[in-house]
């Protein structure tokens, strides 16, 4: 009887080993950037994409990209200052070519490195608690013009938001 148990245990161990040799694993890196006061997100509350592609039309330039967004907040009574951290442009990967300046606007207001006020009374209507009205975030070529040097271009658009300490 003892020999039968040993054989059964050995068979079970071999079966387990063969199953684990054929097992698959998935690893998912998860990232978040938490600000407890503000977030610029898609209108549905999902994260903005990390990458967008601006379509190029030969002889014309780049088509603008538009995302429908909301500013989510923990205090709908406070105005928001919005600015770009740097003047955005596209530069050719690996160097060369001329930089292509980009224009960024939020709710049809052109953003620059100088802070602009978005008044709480203008953007928060109470329809969705903690969320602004839906606004267009548009990124495009500053002046639409033909691009004369072929290649892959890239750049970063960084938008900074600050909740003002009080509303006048």
CB atoms within 10 A of CB 145: 12
CB atoms within 10 A of CB 115: 15
**Predicted model pTM:** 0.79
What whole-number distance in Å separates Cα of residue 155 and Cα of residue 102?
9
Mean pLDDT of all residues in 8-23: 60
CB atoms within 10 A of CB 106: 21
> Look-up: residue for tokens 């967004």?
69
Residues in CB range of 47: below 8 A, 6 or more apart: 41
What whole-number distance in Å separates Cα of residue 149 and Cα of residue 92?
9
Residue from 83, 115, 92, 101 nearest 143 by CA: 101
What whole-number distance in Å separates Cα of residue 43 and Cα of residue 10?
58
CATH placement of domain 38-163: 2.60.40.2040
- At 31 the pLDDT is 77
Percentage of the chain modeled with pLDDT above 70: 85
The domain segmentation of the chain, as residue ranges, is 38-163
Give the residue with greater pLDDT, 12 vs 36. Answer: 36
> For residue 16, is pLDDT > 70?
no
- At 28 the pLDDT is 83
> For residue 137, is pLDDT > 80?
yes
What whole-number distance in Å separates Cα of residue 147 and Cα of residue 141?
10
Query: Which phi and psi (to 5°) does residue 68 adopt?
Result: -85, 120
Q: At 124, is the secondary structure helix, strand, or coil?
A: coil
pLDDT digits (tens, 9 = 90+) for 61-119: 999 999 999 999 999 999 999 999 999 999 999 888 899 999 999 999 999 999 999 99
């Amino acid at each position: 009887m003892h020999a039968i148990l040993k054989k059964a245990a050995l068979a079970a161990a071999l079966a387990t080993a063969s199953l684990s040799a054929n097992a698959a694993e998935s690893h998912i890196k998860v990232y978040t950037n938490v600000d407890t006061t503000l977030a610029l997100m898609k209108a549905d509350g999902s994260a903005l994409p990390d990458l967008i592609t601006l379509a190029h039309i030969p002889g014309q330039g780049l088509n603008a990209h538009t995302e429908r967004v909301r500013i989510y907040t923990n205090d709908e009574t406070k105005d928001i200052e919005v600015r770009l951290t740097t003047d955005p442009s596209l530069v050719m990967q690996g160097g060369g070519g001329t930089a292509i300046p980009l224009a960024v606007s939020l709710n049809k207001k052109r953003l620059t490195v100088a802070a602009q006020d978005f008044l709480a009374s203008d953007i928060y209507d109470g329809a969705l608690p903690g969320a602004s009205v839906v606004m267009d975030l548009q990124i495009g070529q500053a002046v639409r013009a033909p691009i004369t040097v072929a290649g892959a271009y890239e750049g970063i658009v960084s938008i900074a938001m600050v909740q003002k300490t009080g509303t006048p």
